[in-house]
């Protein structure tokens, strides 16, 4: 158990593994409303939107998104991930 927790910590603390972490961030914070592939659900389709636009929206916390709490770094990572979706 402890070993697993440490492994998980190391995994999330390691800076180069950006894309894997970003997809997890997306799944846990965005997919419920925007769909697993960003094609939309209760929220609009966002796949392929420019990363700076996505980050700006997340930072503005428009109404159903006001519960989202991501660090600036995680916001950047998830925005880049959304932009990479097709
Ligand atoms: C609780 C549901 C919900 C969650 C969770 C959520 N969104 Fe949204 N999002 C919405 C809704 C609804 C809108 C449309 C808001 C509006 O137009 O007023 C929206 C709008 C957006 C927009 C603007 C789209 C456009 O075409 O203008 C972007 C970009 C976006 N969300 C990204 C994200 C990202 C990235 C996450 C995860 C960090 C996320 N959202 C999490 C519901 C959600």
The answer to whether position 11 is within a domain reads no
Which range of residues forms the domain containing residue 34?
A: 17-84
Query: For 1-49, how does the pLDDT look when each residue is reduced to its tens digit (9 = 90+)?
Result: 677 777 666 666 555 445 568 999 999 999 999 999 999 999 999 999 9
**Which residue has its alpha carbon closest to ligand 1 atom 16?**
62
DSSP state letters, 11-54 = HHH-TT-HHHHHHHHHHHHTHHHH-TTSS-SSSPP-TT--HHHH
**Residue 46, CB-side half-sphere exposure with 13 Å CA sphere:** 28
The answer to whether position 44 is within a domain reads yes
The answer to whether position 7 is within a domain reads no
> Model pTM greater than 0.75?
yes
28 token code pair? 């846990």
Tell me how far the alpha carbon of residue 17 is from its chain's centroid.
Answer: 14
The answer to whether position 34 is within a domain reads yes
User: What is the CATH number for 75?
Assistant: 1.10.760.10
How many structural domains are present in the chain?
A: 1
Q: What SS3 class is residue 46?
A: coil
**Which residue has its alpha carbon closest to ligand 1 atom 42?**
43
Closest ligand 1 atom to 79 CA: 35
């Amino acid at each position: 158990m402890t070993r697993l927790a440490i492994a998980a910590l190391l995994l999330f603390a390691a800076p180069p593994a950006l894309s894997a972490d970003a997809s997890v961030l997306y799944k846990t914070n965005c997919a419920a409303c925007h769909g697993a592939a960003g094609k939309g659900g209760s929220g609009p389709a966002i796949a392929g939107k420019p990363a700076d636009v996505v980050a700006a929206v997340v930072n503005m916390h428009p109404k159903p998104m006001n519960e989202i709490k991501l660090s600036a770094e995680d916001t950047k990572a998830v925005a880049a991930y959304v932009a990479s979706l097709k």
